[in-house]
Amino acid sequence: MLKVVKFGGSSLASAEQFARVKAIVESDPARKVVVVSAPGKRFSGDTKVTDLLYICHAHIKYHAPFEDVFEDIAGRYREIADGCGLTQDLESEFESVKQFIQKAPTADAIASRGEYLNAKLMAEYLGYTFIDSKDWLCFNYDGRVDFEKSYATLKELFARAGKVVLPGFYGAMPDGEVKTFTRGGSDVTGAIAAAALDTDAYENWTDVSGILMADPRIVENPRPIEQVTFSELRELSYMGADVLHEETVFPVRQKNIPLYIKNTNDPSARGTLILEEFERESEEDKKRFVTGITGRKNYSIITLSKARMNSEAGFIRHALKLVEKYGVTVEYITSSIDSFSIVVSTKQIEFSLHDLTADLNEVLNPDRIKVDHGISLVAVVGRRMAWNVGVSGRLFATLGENSINIRMIEQGSDEINIIIGVEDKDFKKTIRVLYDSFT
Ligand code: ASP
C-alpha cells in the first residue's frame, strides 16, 4: 500500500500542528509520500507565510528593505523547529533563501520558499528524504505541467529514497526557473505525485472533517458529505463550494485514485471520499438524494423577446456571437417560443452592457430586451437525484412554501444538478430551506 498525504497550511502552522501531522503519518505505514504547504494561520488575524512572502516580493520589487518581513517569516520557522526539537542549520538555510530570492526576485520564486522551508523541517521531523519539487515537477514553456516528464522523474527519485517529503505549490520551467500554481496549489502537487506513483489513495488533510453539504457561514453545522463523485465535486466547486484547488481532480481522476479529505485536528472523523463512481452507497448517503447545495450571487439575466423568434433561423447564434464579441461567458441559456434568456456574471458585463444591448438591438431587432441584475444561482447537486422521482417536486414545493420566487430553472441532462435562479436577497434563505428539506 502506498499513499500520498498532503497537509494544508493550517495543519502545519505551528510545532503543535507538526506533532499532529507526525502522529497521523506514523499511524499508517502506507503514508510514505508527504506533501506540505507553507505554514498557514495559527489564529484568526494571523498572516500566512505565503502572504508574507508576497509582501517580501513587493518590497524587493520597489527596492524597499525586505529584511524585517523576512525576519517575521524566519521567526515562524524557528518557532516550529524549536518546538519540534529540530537541529538542522536553519540560519544558513535562511541565508541561502535570501540569496536565492535576490538572484531571481520573481513573485513565484519568492512565494515558493514557504513550502520549501516547511518541507525541509518536516523531512527532518519525520526522518524522510526531502525532494525539492523543482527537481521533479516540470512545467512546459506554455505554463502547463509536463505530466510525462514529472511522473517519470518522481518515480525514479522516489524509488531511490523510499519515504519522502515534497514541498507543494511549485515546480520548474524548462530553463529551471521556479513556477508556482495559483493559490492553494499544493493540492495539485499532491494529486500529481499520487498519479505519478500510482498510489492507492491521495489523502488531503485540512482543518475540516470533509466537504460540507453547505457553506457553514450560511447553514449552521452542515453535515459532512461521506461520498461524492468527481462530477458532483466539479459542479459543487464551480458553483462556489470552496473545497480543493480546481486542478487537483484531473490527475487522480485519470488514474482512478481515491481522494480523501480528512481533518488533521480530528483524524478519526470519516471525512469525505471522492471517486469516479460508487459501487455501494454508504448507509448515510442512501438516506438522502442530495449530495450538496451551494451557490453564487451577482448574476444578471438578459432576456430577448421577439414575436415568432422560433421561426427565425440563427437568432440565438447571432445573439451569442455578439455576447462572445464582448468576451462574456454565458453560464446558462433558457428559452421559450418567443424569448430567450442568457445568464451571465454581472461583473463580466459591468462595462460592456450598454454597447452589448445596442449591438443586440441593431443586429437582431428584438421587440424587447430586458436585463435583470441581482440574481443568485443555487445548485442542488446529487448523483442519486437522477433515478429518483419527485426531487424537483419537493424542491419547488419547499421554495413555494417559503415564498421564494424562482427566476430561472435549469437541469443538466445527466440529472446530477438542478440550478435555480433566485433574487440575491433570497440567496441564503434558499440554501437554508433546501438544506433543511433535503437532510
Ligand atoms: N501556500 C500556498 C498558498 O497559500 C499554496 C498552498 O497552500 O496550497 O496559496
Mean pLDDT of 176-181: 96
Please indicate, yes or no, if residue 420 is contained in any of the structural domains.
Answer: yes
- Strand ranges, E, within 347-407: 368-381
The boundaries of the domain holding residue 8 are 3-207
Please indicate, yes or no, if residue 226 is contained in any of the structural domains.
Answer: no
Q: Based on the domain organization, do 49 and 183 belong to the same domain? A: yes
Per-residue confidence (pLDDT) for residue 289, from 0 to 100: 85
Return the CATH number at 408: 3.30.2130.10
Please indicate, yes or no, if residue 350 is contained in any of the structural domains.
Answer: yes
Per-residue confidence (pLDDT) for residue 438, from 0 to 100: 87
Spatial contact of 12 and 39, defined as CB atoms under 8 Å apart: yes
Q: Based on the domain organization, do 177 and 307 belong to the same domain? A: no
Per-residue confidence (pLDDT) for residue 185, from 0 to 100: 97
What whole-number distance in Å separates Cα of residue 343 and Cα of residue 366?
A: 18
Residue 317 burial (C-beta neighbours within 10 Å; 0-12, 13-18, 19+)? exposed
* pLDDT range class, residue 269, cuts 50, 70, 90: very high
* pLDDT range class, residue 335, cuts 50, 70, 90: confident
Per-residue confidence (pLDDT) for residue 47, from 0 to 100: 97
Pocket test for ligand 1, best of 186, 206, 264 (most atoms within 8 A of CB): 186
Domain count for the chain, please give it. Answer: 2
- Residue where a domain stops, chosen among 207, 236, 268: 207
User: pTM for this one?
Assistant: 0.89
Pocket test for ligand 1, best of 10, 50, 244 (most atoms within 8 A of CB): 50
The ligand 1 atom nearest the CA atom of 180: 5
User: Measured in angstroms, how far is the CA atom of residue 273 from the centroid of ligand 1?
Assistant: 22
For residues 118, 123, 129, 134, the Cα torsion angle rounded to the nearest 10 degrees is 0
* pLDDT range class, residue 303, cuts 50, 70, 90: very high
Please indicate, yes or no, if residue 320 is contained in any of the structural domains.
Answer: yes
Return the CATH number at 78: 3.40.1160.10
The ligand 1 atom nearest the CA atom of 37: 7
- Residue where a domain stops, chosen among 173, 207, 241: 207
Checking if the pLDDT of 31 tops 80, the result is yes
Checking if the pLDDT of 23 tops 90, the result is yes
What whole-number distance in Å separates Cα of residue 86 and Cα of residue 100?
A: 23
Please indicate, yes or no, if residue 69 is contained in any of the structural domains.
Answer: yes
User: Measured in angstroms, how far is the CA atom of residue 119 from the centroid of ligand 1?
Assistant: 13
User: Measured in angstroms, how far is the CA atom of residue 123 from the centroid of ligand 1?
Assistant: 18
Taking all residues of the chain, what is their mean pLDDT, rounded to a whole number? 94
* pLDDT range class, residue 275, cuts 50, 70, 90: very high
What whole-number distance in Å separates Cα of residue 218 and Cα of residue 308?
A: 43
Q: How far apart are the first and last CA of the chain?
A: 36
Per-residue confidence (pLDDT) for residue 288, from 0 to 100: 79
